[in-house]
């Protein structure tokens, strides 16, 4: 078995390296590449994807996995070897259902769509992006067909990001929390409005970057194995456990996007940087799922970054960088301002209480697009109608509506639900962490995050994708993913802020 495991790791390393090379090209596309290079970049990425797919579906790998799966019966269920075989076999079984031609076509289509989306967003031109959206919806429908029979056409897409979870499960979780969230927002709407106008002044880009870098350095981000750049839409990417990069977004007249976007992406990066190095260049060197990944980014962004103890420590630092904007704003006013609850247009700028409504809208849109009940050509108008139904406002343009997110241009249908699931998991894990670290608030107020990060490294990060998401959450908290802790958190936090 030892010899076969070594051969498996060799093959998995080659597949990982090809995927990492593709990730470098994708990172460069979003950070440095001239827009006119999109066609060439698409061809390059398609070639690498095709080669990676051939290797990841080879008869050699399949035979090796079949043999090892049988022999793994003699291994402890939770051993690294048994789990690596299980994760690799699951991925192989999925990959072999998909044609190499489809993979190449999809990769090229997303590379071109990405650049077109950027131009369409800047120019508020949905019609420019529409043909690409139609093509990508069609390709994702074709992808789902590879996995028939399924309970729902959306299941294969969701499974890519949330292994083992079904569309019906997500819909139930969302339904369970929707009414309480809507009621909380209604109660808040009856209270005096919080003033956050000071967030919408001119804020120097260098100052925003400076403060964000200081904070995430304190969080524990390892700059020797990472870097930060600027992109249209913030993201985190990993080329291996020793190279985990983040980007952020600058809005000159709104402070929040860079601040909280930086905290958010750092949370993703800390997860990747904390995976045990023994798993590097294997399928385990990844998050357990995107919901678990989002639980980490939302934890650093919200549970810490929007908390009162955090700003007791860092507000004076921010005031020093922006004295004319914040010099006359006291800490309590700032804290309430960054936590103002108000239906808003942009998902990544939404407050904690309304954020999940943005995700529920997108889930409905994606299911409709995959089922065919929504046509891609009508997406901009349907978006406005659903946005009004969910949040009571109509986007004044498509740039702030259907074009605001990068995900569809990247073909990432099935991803959006993981954001809301990540919110739920973040509080479930946080509550468990507080049992072991009851003085967490004092640590945050002191700007000391090593114990917090250490707890997550021990209980979450080190395992990477060794455990499936529901399995990991239950292992840590004793429960599967559910909305009750998150709902309690919202009611407690905003009940105090709004005197409910």
Catalytic residues, which ones? 265
Q: How many CB atoms lie within 10 A of CB 63?
A: 11
Structural tokens at position 420: 């809301």
Question: DSSP string covering 20-59, please?
Answer: HHHHHHHHHHHHT--GGGHHHHHHHHHHHHHHHHHHHT-H
- Angle of helix 331-338 relative to helix 308-321, nearest 10 degrees, comes to 110
Both structure tokens of 307: 């908390």
Cα 424 from Cα 173, distance rounded (Å)? 10
Q: How many CB atoms lie within 10 A of CB 155?
A: 19
Residues forming a β-bridge with 247 = 229
Q: Which of 492, 226, 233 is nearest to 347 (CA)?
A: 233
Burial class (CB in 10 A: 0-12, 13-18, 19+), 187: middle
Q: Is 225 annotated as a binding residue?
A: no
Quick one: tokens of 229? Answer: 């750049």
For residue 476, the SS3 value is helix
- Known binder of ligand: residue 461? no
Distance CA 409, CA 139 (A): 12
Q: How far apart are CA 327 and CA 336, in angstroms?
A: 16
Find out whether the peptide bond into 149 is cis, omega within 30 degrees of 0: yes
CA distance readout (Å), 178 to 170, 323, 401 = 12, 40, 22
- Tell me how far CA of residue 348 lies from CA of 146, 173, 251, 406, in angstroms: 33, 21, 12, 11
Tokens of 154: 């959306």
- Strand 244-248 and strand 228-230: the pairing is parallel
DSSP string, 397-417: SSTTTTTS-STTTTT-TT-TH
Whether 288 and 465 have beta carbons less than 8 Å apart is answered as yes
How far apart are the C-alpha atoms of 183 and 186, rounded to whole Å? 5
Following CA atoms 153, 155, 157, 159 in sequence, which dihedral angle do they give, to the nearest 10 degrees?
-160
The annotated binding site is made up of 264, 268, 294
Q: Which residues are annotated as a binding site for Zn(2+)?
A: 264, 268, 294
């Amino acid at each position: 078995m030892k010899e076969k495991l070594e051969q498996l790791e060799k093959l998995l390393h080659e597949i990982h390296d090809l995927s990492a090379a593709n990730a470098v090209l994708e990172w460069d596309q979003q950070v440095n590449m001239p827009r006119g290079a999109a066609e060439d970049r698409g061809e390059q990425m398609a070639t690498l994807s095709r080669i990676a797919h051939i290797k990841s579906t080879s008869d050699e790998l399949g035979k090796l996995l079949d043999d090892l799966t049988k022999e793994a019966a003699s291994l402890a269920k939770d051993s690294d070897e048994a789990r690596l075989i299980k994760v690799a076999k699951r991925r192989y079984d999925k990959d072999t259902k998909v044609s190499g031609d489809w993979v190449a076509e999809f990769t090229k289509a997303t590379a071109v769509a990405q650049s077109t989306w950027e131009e369409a967003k800047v120019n508020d031109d949905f019609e420019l992006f529409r043909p690409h959206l139609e093509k990508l919806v069609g390709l994702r429908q074709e992808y789902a067909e590879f996995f028939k029979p399924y309970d729902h056409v959306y299941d294969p897409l969701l499974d890519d990001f949330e292994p083992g979870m079904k569309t019906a499960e997500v819909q139930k979780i969302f339904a369970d929390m929707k009414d309480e969230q809507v009621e909380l927002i209604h109660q808040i709407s009856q209270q005096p409005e919080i003033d956050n106008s000071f967030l919408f002044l001119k804020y120097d880009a260098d100052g925003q970057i400076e403060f964000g870098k200081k904070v995430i350095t304190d969080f524990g981000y390892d700059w020797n194995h990472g870097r930060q750049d600027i992109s249209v839409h913030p993201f985190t990417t990993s080329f291996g456990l020793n190279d985990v990069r983040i980007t952020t977004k600058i809005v000159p007249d709104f402070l929040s996007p860079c601040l909280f976007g930086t905290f958010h992406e750092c949370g993703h990066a800390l997860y990747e940087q904390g995976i045990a190095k023994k798993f590097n260049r294997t399928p385990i060197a990844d998050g357990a799922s995107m919901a678990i990944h989002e639980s980490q980014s939302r934890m650093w962004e919200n549970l810490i970054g929007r908390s009162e103890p955090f700003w007791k420590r860092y507000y004076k630092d921010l005031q020093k960088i922006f004295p004319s904007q914040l010099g006359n704003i006291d800490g309590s006013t700032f804290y309430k301002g960054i936590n103002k609850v108000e239906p808003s247009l942009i998902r990544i700028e939404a407050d904690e209480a309304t954020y999940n409504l943005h995700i529920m809208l997108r889930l409905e849109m994606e299911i409709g697009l995959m089922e065919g009940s929504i046509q891609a050509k009508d997406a901009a108008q349907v978006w406005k109608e659903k946005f009004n139904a969910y949040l009571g406002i109509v986007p004044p343009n498509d740039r702030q509506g259907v074009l605001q997110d990068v995900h569809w241009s990247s073909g990432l249908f099935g991803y959006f639900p993981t954001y809301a699931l990540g919110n739920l998991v973040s509080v479930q894990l946080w509550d468990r962490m507080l049992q072991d670290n009851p003085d967490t608030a004092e640590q945050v107020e002191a700007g000391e995050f090593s114990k917090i990060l250490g707890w997550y490294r021990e209980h979450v990060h080190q395992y990477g994708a060794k455990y499936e998401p529901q399995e990991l959450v239950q292992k840590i908290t004793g429960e599967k993913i559910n909305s009750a802790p998150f709902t309690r958190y919202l009611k407690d936090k905003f009940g105090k802020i709004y005197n409910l």
